[in-house]
Structure 1
Amino acid sequence: MPQKPKRLPLPKRFSAALTEKAYAKLRDLNADWHFGNNYLLTILLENFDDVIDEKKFQQVMETFIAEYGQPDAGGMKPNKTQG
């Protein structure tokens, strides 16, 4: 009997708001790779350094900050219920 593939547990859940453009890209990735949104985001974030060009990412962030601003460094605080 063939062995079932392992499933990656995704214990931490959060709600994420996305632009239409970002959600369309997520749907395109889902159509290509057949993973759900949670798995796709996990794969991308866990392998972030391997899948981005650091210089291009820096430029994108600087452009975004110039247009929309940047939150205070202390703006994102850990959830007290999470480890």
Structure 2
Amino acid sequence: MTSRQLPLPKRFSVAMTEEAYGRLRALHQTYWLSNNYLLTVLLEHLDEFADPAKLDAVFKTFIAEYGAPSPTPGATPGKGMGSGAKKRS
């Protein structure tokens, strides 16, 4: 079987906590995939392994502790980070 490479266009750089980066590196040591592939697999298949109610609770707890960033002026609701939407002049 011939393996092929999944094309991953560069979208954004990521900053993360030391704990999150450590977990990403541990996944790398297990599966030998790049950070880009690891994050792609995790996010594309999130519904297959994350309980929606628990995920919602984790996000709400995080937002309660750290807050949520203010929306960018002129941004369309629901068209946030990574949507590719740009403000038109």
Secondary structure of the equivalent of 2:7?
coil
Q: Note the C-alpha offset of 1:79.
A: 5.4
Q: CA RMSD in A?
A: 2.0
- Displaced runs of 4+ in structure 1, greater than 2 A? 71-80
Query: 5+ residue gaps in structure 1?
Result: none
Partner of 2:18: 20
TM-score (norm 1): 0.80
Overall identity of the aligned pairs, in %: 49
Query: 5+ residue gaps in structure 2?
Result: none
CA distance in 2: counterparts of 1:5 and 1:47, whole angstroms? 20
CA distance in 2: counterparts of 1:27 and 1:57, whole angstroms? 22
More helix by share: 1
Partner of 2:63: 65
